[in-house]
Structure 1
Amino acid sequence: MSKRNRIFIAVLLIYAAGTAFLLYRVLADLDPRYRESAEESLVETSQLVAALVEQDVRDGAIDVARLDPLFRSLYARKFEAKIFSVTKRRVEVRVAVTDGTGRVLYDSLGRATGSDYSRWRDVALALRGEYGARSTLDVEGDPATAVMYVSAPVRWQERIVGAVSVGKPVQSFGQFVEDARRKTIYVGVFSAIAVLVLAFIMSVWLVRPFGLIADYVRYVRAQPRISLPGMGRRALGVIGAAYEEMRDALAGRNYVADYVQTLTHEVKSPLSAIRGAAELLQEAGMPPGERQKFLANIMREAGRIQEMVDRMMELTALETRRALEHVATVPLNPLLEEAVAAAGDAGAQRDVTVRLEAGDEASVEGDAFLVRRAFSNLLDNAIDFSPSGGEVTVTLARQGRKAVVQVRDRGPGIPEYAVDKVFEKFYSLARPHSRKKSTGLGLSFVREIASLHHGRIDLANAEGGGAVATLTLPLAPA
């Protein structure tokens, strides 16, 4: 197990231990807090009953005659009180009245009349004028039968002549404690699980960069000599690879679905043309000239689909790359000369001149084949939009640590509505000479090549008319 994983597991264990301790403290504190709340209510009830009993004191003697019918009626009452998740249906409070010596004069349950309560802490303290409370088991050895009692003194002419002891079974509010304990456990467990899941997700996002840094450190140690530009490019490559992985994970099916939907839309038009031409060819008596025309349409549209599929496969292969597989120092001047020579033949068919004005010598680190393909795509695009007799100019210049290649045509330029769309897949403008559109993948292909070489591509309208494509690539270290 790696150090990263051990640290991650240790952090999770510390969190789990902290959460367990917090839950334990909260759960252990629930019962005392509920008991304190119940005791506060019993204090007020005992004072109320004591005030009631004091109304029936005659010459220092307590008269409890009216208490019995009062509590009989109280215990016989029918009601249903919905208190959150608990339903209460009967009165459980109990009352005992003693004289000044602690002898029970009245017990609401009828169990302890005549008993000596002077030994009970709450009664003994109340008879001395102090606050008294106790908790006693109804059934010895059974904690579930515990009853809380609070006593209050009964006074006559500033003299204590007895005490009132008010009790309430712990079980009556214990169900609230159990409900609160259950909910607290649920919330704690669910929170712990949620945090663990979040920690795992965050580890994928956070631990991954540390792994990349460790890989980069190993790479630096393995180098026989240190080259700061090379280290910088390597670091950018590592970060770029991580970004590509993140993009693929986030895009997922939506990325593929968008590809399929767009490709289907673009293929629909040539397929319709092929189908229409094929249906017309089935008609009898068609002149040979018309037949050749429709056959040519079929071949042209089939070729368009084939070109679209080929370009799409190349573009997809580029987009799935994390970095260039074969990196070497690539002189740009010879590549531009080859691309201009090849484009000159294509331009001659429409009387378009392609001219190279490479003023500076420049080299980049990358894949010579892909760089040549980028130049060819830019030149083909410029020739397509050039008028008959026009000129395409190619320039190469150095700007700081970058090589800048510009391809300019003298065509109609880019319409304002298309400026932000020219690099979108399958987006294409009609060629001025043929009014036909291309596959719309050429500029996307160039953009991917530029990205793999840590450069960029821009297309804008040029001063004086036409459009200018600017390919910027970082220079190779001297």
Structure 2
Amino acid sequence: MSKRNRIFVGILLIYAAGIAFLLYRVLADLDPRYRESAEESLVETAHVMASLVEQDVRGGAIDTARLEPLFRSVHARQFEARIFSVVKHKVELRLYVTDRAGRVLYDSQGRMAGADFSQWRDVRLALRGEYGARTTPDVEEDPLTSVMYVGAPVHHGNEIVGAVSVGKPVQSFGQFVQAARRKTLYVGLYSAVAVLLLAVIVSVWLVRPFGLVADYVRYVRAQRRLNLPRLGRRALGVIGAAYDEMRDTLAGRSYVADYVQTLTHEVKSPLSAIRGAAELLQEPGMAPAQRQRFLDNITRETRRIQELVDRMMELTALETRRTLEQVQPVRLGPLLDEVVAAAAAAAAPRQVQVRLDLHEEAMVEGDPFLLRRAVSNLLDNAIDFSPAGGQVRVSLRRGRRDAVVEVADQGPGIPDYAQDKVFEKFYSLARPHSHKKSTGLGLPFVREIASLHHGRIGLANAAEGGAVARFALPLAAG
């Protein structure tokens, strides 16, 4: 198991432990909360019954004669009360009355008449005018038979002449506690499973791009000295790359659909030209020169489609790469010298001169192959837009933080309407000498390479005429 997976599993275990602890605390707290609610209700009932008993006090003595038929009738009542998921069929309320000495005068269950209850907490405190309550099991060492009692004093004038205690079996409201525990446990477990499932989905679909942080850590370790601004830019680049990958993951279908739609639109024109030429070639009696012209047209349009597909595949493959797999120090001087030498041969048929102004050296970190392709694309554009006998100038300028490669031509420059479109896919301007357009994928390709190297690319009109492309790359630490 990889370190990343171990960390993820550890986080899930910590989350599960936290949920278990939370459920334990909630479930453990349910019973006291229900007891508090039941006790509050018993307090009111005890004082109501104490007031009722006070109506039958004669000469300081309590008369309990009318309590017997009252509770006999209440306990005999049969009914069906559905309280949410619990059904209640009978009254379980208990009551006993004691005199001022704590001796039982009346017991609704008929078992404790004459018993001395003066030491029970509810009676003892009630006779002193204080609040008293207790919970006692009917059967010793059997908590399921526990009954909660709450006492209230019986007054005659300013004197306490007895006490009334009302009781309720804990099991009667324990049903609600058990039901609440089951519901809470189910909700907690379902929620935990749902969150764990969501975490797995998120880790598979979204968290994976943040593995780029490991690449960033390796980059930091590889630095020979600490450069906070550079590390900051690198960190922002890592976060941006992770965001781009998450965006592509979430919008993958739309991304592919846009590509297919655009490619279909671009291929439609050369296919129409090929089909038209093929239909004309089927006509009899065509002159050989005209037939050759149509065949050349088919070859040219076929080559155009092939170039479009190849460039499209290159750009798509590049856009799916959010980081460079292998980074190495690259000296820009020798790289530019090599690219300019190769471009000079392509510019020779139109007598376009390619000149390299290299007055200083610069070292960057990146992929030499991709950097060479980027500069080559810029040079190809400059040569295509240069007039016959013109000049293309390539120069290298070293700044405090980056190295800038400039490619300037003597062409017509960029029209105002195209200033903000030159880096769009498939957008292309007609070449002055051939009046033909390219695939429109060269500059987007260069922009992707610049992004992978945490650099930038710009294209603007030069003050002295023509266009100048500026390809900036961060300097290597040294």
Letter in structure 2 aligned against 1:94:
R
* TM-score of the superposed pair, with normalisation by structure 1: 0.75
Moved more, 277-286 or 330-339: 277-286
Does the C-alpha gap of structure 1 residues 191 and 287 become closer, same or farther in structure 2, counting only changes over 3 Å?
A: same
Does the C-alpha gap of structure 1 residues 56 and 346 become closer, same or farther in structure 2, counting only changes over 3 Å?
A: farther
* SS state at 1:331 partner: helix
Q: Would you say 1:441 and 2:446 are equivalent positions? A: no
Q: How does 1:25-64 map to 2 (within 5 A)?
A: 25-64=25-64
Q: Distance in 2 between the 1:10 and 1:260 partners? A: 39
Q: Which residue of 2 aligns with 1:461?
A: 461
Q: Which residue of 1 aligns with 2:136?
A: 136
Q: Which residue of 2 aligns with 1:384?
A: 384
Deviation at 1:50, TM superposition (A): 0.4
Does the C-alpha gap of structure 1 residues 237 and 45 become closer, same or farther in structure 2, counting only changes over 3 Å?
A: closer
Q: Which residue of 2 aligns with 1:310?
A: 310
1:41-68 Cα offsets, whole Å, 9 max, x none, are 2122111110111112223343334445
Letter in structure 1 aligned against 2:344:
A
Q: Which residue of 2 aligns with 1:345?
A: 348
Q: Which runs of 5+ in 1 are unaligned?
A: 221-226
Letter in structure 2 aligned against 1:329:
R
Q: Distance in 2 between the 1:157 and 1:477 partners? A: 96
Q: Would you say 1:322 and 2:324 are equivalent positions? A: yes
Deviation at 1:133, TM superposition (A): 2.1
Q: Which residue of 1 aligns with 2:398?
A: 399
Q: Which runs of 5+ in 2 are unaligned?
A: none
Q: Residue 144 of structure 2 contacts residue 171 of structure 2 at CA under 8 Å; is this kept in 1?
A: yes
Q: Distance in 1 between the 2:259 and 2:303 partners? A: 19
Q: Would you say 1:266 and 2:263 are equivalent positions? A: yes
Q: Would you say 1:116 and 2:115 are equivalent positions? A: yes
Q: Distance in 1 between the 2:37 and 2:6 partners? A: 46
Q: Would you say 1:331 and 2:333 are equivalent positions? A: yes
Q: Which residue of 1 aligns with 2:471?
A: 471
Q: Residue 216 of structure 2 contacts residue 238 of structure 2 at CA under 8 Å; is this kept in 1?
A: no
Letter in structure 1 aligned against 2:438:
S
* SS state at 2:407 partner: strand
Q: Distance in 2 between the 1:61 and 1:367 partners? A: 105
Q: Distance in 1 between the 2:167 and 2:186 partners? A: 33
Q: Residue 413 of structure 2 contacts residue 467 of structure 2 at CA under 8 Å; is this kept in 1?
A: yes
Letter in structure 2 aligned against 1:33:
R
Q: Distance in 2 between the 1:403 and 1:88 partners? A: 85
Does the C-alpha gap of structure 1 residues 286 and 100 become closer, same or farther in structure 2, counting only changes over 3 Å?
A: farther
Moved more, 16-25 or 139-148: 16-25
Q: Distance in 1 between the 2:361 and 2:231 partners? A: 21
Q: Distance in 2 between the 1:347 and 1:277 partners? A: 32
Give the alignment's Cα RMSD to 1 decimal: 4.7
Q: How does 1:136-215 map to 2 (within 5 A)?
A: 136-139=136-139, 141-185=141-185, 194=195, 209=213, 213=217
Letter in structure 1 aligned against 2:31:
D
Does the C-alpha gap of structure 1 residues 190 and 417 become closer, same or farther in structure 2, counting only changes over 3 Å?
A: farther
Q: Residue 31 of structure 1 contacts residue 177 of structure 1 at CA under 8 Å; is this kept in 2?
A: yes
Does the C-alpha gap of structure 1 residues 268 and 461 become closer, same or farther in structure 2, counting only changes over 3 Å?
A: same
Deviation at 1:444, TM superposition (A): 2.2
How many residue pairs are counted as aligned between the two chains?
A: 464
Deviation at 1:440, TM superposition (A): 1.7
Q: Percent identity?
A: 53
Q: Distance in 2 between the 1:4 and 1:369 partners? A: 31
